[in-house]
Amino acid sequence: MVSSINPIPKSVKKLWERWNLRGFILLSLTLQTILILGAPFRKRAPNLAIIFIIWSSYLLADWAANFAIGLISNSQGDARGTGDNNEDLLAFWAPFLLLHLGGPDTITAFALEDNTLWLRHFLGLIFQVIAAIYVFIQSFPTNKLWPSTILLFLAGTIKYAERTRGLYLASLDNFKESMLKKPDPGPNYAKLMEEYSSKKEAKLPTHIELTAERSKDFRTVTYVAEKGDMENDLAMVRHAYHFYKIFRGLIVDLIFSFHERFESRAFFHDIEAEAAFRLIAIELNFVYEALFTKAVVVHSRRGCIFRAISFTAVSIALGFFYKLEKHDYHKFDVGITYTLLFGALGLDSIALFMLIFSDWTVAALKKSWQNFFVAAMLKKYLSFKRPNWPTNTNTSCLIWIKQILFRRWYESVSAFNLIDYSLKEREKMSPNIFDYLGIAYIEIIYLMGLKDLRDKMKYRSSTPLTKELWEFIFQELKSKSLLADDPETAQENIFGKRTLKSCIEDVEYDQSILLWHIATEFCFNKDVGNNKKDEGYDKKDESNTDPTLTSSVAGIGQIRFRDTCAEAKKFFSRSELGSGKSGGNEQLVACERILGVNTEVQPVAVKGDRSKSVLFDACILAKQLMELKENKWELMSKVWVELLSYTASHCRANDHAQLLGKGGELVTFVWLLMAHFGIGEQFQINEGHARAKLIVGK
Is it the case that residue 84 has pLDDT exceeding 60?
Answer: no
Pairing of strands 412-416, 460-464: antiparallel
List pLDDT tens digits, range 618-643: 999 999 988 887 788 888 888 888 88
- What is the model's pLDDT at position 492? 52
Confidence of residue 495 (pLDDT cuts 50, 70, 90): very low
Partnered with residue 692 across adjacent β-strands are 210
CA angle 515-520-523, nearest 5°?
125
List pLDDT tens digits, range 218-276: 556 677 778 888 888 999 999 999 999 999 989 988 888 778 888 889 899 999 999 99
Confidence of residue 485 (pLDDT cuts 50, 70, 90): low
Is it the case that residue 26 has pLDDT exceeding 80?
Answer: yes
List pLDDT tens digits, range 291-322: 999 999 999 999 999 999 999 999 999 999 99
119 within a domain of the structure (yes/no): yes
- Residue closest to 290 by CA, chosen among 245, 254, 256: 245
Under 8 Å CB-to-CB from 276, ≥6 apart: which residues? 268, 474, 673, 676
CB 57 within 8 A of CB 35: yes
Higher pLDDT, 659 or 213: 659
Give the predicted TM-score (pTM) of the model.
0.88
How many angstroms separate the CA atoms of 237 and 235, rounded? 5
- What is the model's pLDDT at position 320? 92
Partnered with residue 694 across adjacent β-strands are 208
Is it the case that residue 80 has pLDDT exceeding 70?
Answer: no
CB 676 within 8 A of CB 185: no
How many angstroms separate the CA atoms of 361 and 303, rounded? 13
Coil, strand or helix: which one is 6?
Answer: coil
Confidence of residue 475 (pLDDT cuts 50, 70, 90): very high
412 within a domain of the structure (yes/no): no
Q: Distance between alpha carbon 178 and the CA centroid of its chain, in Å?
A: 20
380 within a domain of the structure (yes/no): no
Is it the case that residue 493 has pLDDT exceeding 60?
Answer: no
555 within a domain of the structure (yes/no): no
How many angstroms separate the CA atoms of 278 and 280, rounded? 6
List pLDDT tens digits, range 664-695: 889 999 999 999 998 876 665 554 555 666 67
How many angstroms separate the CA atoms of 66 and 113, rounded? 21
How many angstroms separate the CA atoms of 640 and 648, rounded? 12
Under 8 Å CB-to-CB from 650, ≥6 apart: which residues? 509, 553
List pLDDT tens digits, range 434-455: 777 777 877 788 788 888 888 8
Please report, as a single letter, which amino acid is at residue 198.
S
Confidence of residue 81 (pLDDT cuts 50, 70, 90): very low
Say how many C-beta atoms besides its own lie within 10 A of residue 448's C-beta: 10
- What is the model's pLDDT at position 98? 93
The DSSP 8-state label assigned to residue 531 in this structure reads T
587 within a domain of the structure (yes/no): no
CA angle 636-640-643, nearest 5°?
140
47 within a domain of the structure (yes/no): yes
* Residue range of the domain that includes 53: 10-178+292-357
326 within a domain of the structure (yes/no): yes
Higher pLDDT, 657 or 552: 657
Average pLDDT of the chain, as a whole number: 82
List pLDDT tens digits, range 340-381: 999 999 999 999 999 999 999 999 887 766 667 788 888 888
Is it the case that residue 552 has pLDDT exceeding 60?
Answer: no
Among the residues of 544-693, which ranges form H helices?
A: 557-574, 586-595, 603-607, 615-626, 632-650, 653-660, 666-676
CB 59 within 8 A of CB 117: no
CA dihedral 219, 221, 222, 227 (to 10 degrees): -170
- What is the model's pLDDT at position 354? 93
- What is the model's pLDDT at position 82? 45
Is it the case that residue 647 has pLDDT exceeding 50?
Answer: yes
- Residue closest to 440 by CA, chosen among 431, 575, 430: 431
How many domains are contained in the chain? 1
55 within a domain of the structure (yes/no): yes
In whole angstroms, how far apart are CA 328 and each of 19, 92, 325, 656, 666?
19, 15, 8, 57, 61
Find the mean pLDDT for residues 71-86: 64
CB 101 within 8 A of CB 124: yes
Find the mean pLDDT for residues 120-130: 91
Element (H, E) at 556: none
How many angstroms separate the CA atoms of 317 and 345, rounded? 11
Selection from 201-205, 486-490, 593-597 with the highest mean pLDDT:
593-597
